[in-house]
Amino acid sequence: MKKLIVVMMLVTVSVAAMAQENAPARQRPAQVPPPGQQPARMMAGGGMDVQDGMLLRIMEAPRVAEMLGLTDEQKAELKEIDARFEGTLTELRQKQEAATRKQAEALRDAEASEEAVLKAVEELWAVRTEQAKVQVRKLLAVRAKLTAEQLAKVRQASPETRQPPTRPQQPPARPAPVQQ
């Protein structure tokens, strides 16, 4: 039963990937960001949140670096971290695109066996898992270079930790007058 559930989940994800692959170009989101950019929505990171995305984008968003009060030494260290991981992440994005195409082709092939389709699904998810691991390693390297105060600023700046604006309470609606 568990195998059936897992297979159904994988097929559902595969169909979604195939649908995205066949979507018109103007509706399909960009698959690969420009060099040096890794927006949070593209992360394969299980468990990564807005704060983590903000940390990973420090070097892309000068106002974030300014808000955190990064020293010149920290900026240099973070640039080095970014450069150290960029090649691996670019390679993994390319592998993910190839694995996505392979999976979509396997699903479109009426002659493909279940084993072949599931192998393509597993290959895609292996790449995504590796992407997540690399992103987490990069996140941990960035976090290690920040002070406790800077990390607290990241938490405060995150929309998840900000208090929602208070809305004025509306008086209850008056019932319509009863006509006799």
CATH class of 48-157: mainly alpha
Boundaries of every domain in the chain:
48-157
pLDDT in tens, 76-120: 999 999 999 999 999 999 999 999 999 999 999 999 999 999 999
Return d(Cα 93, Cα 131) in angstroms, integer: 8
Q: Which residues of the chain have pLDDT under 70?
A: 1-54, 59, 158-176, 180
Please state whether the predicted TM-score (pTM) of the whole model is above 0.85.
no
Among 81, 83, 80, 86, which Cα is nearest to 32's?
A: 86
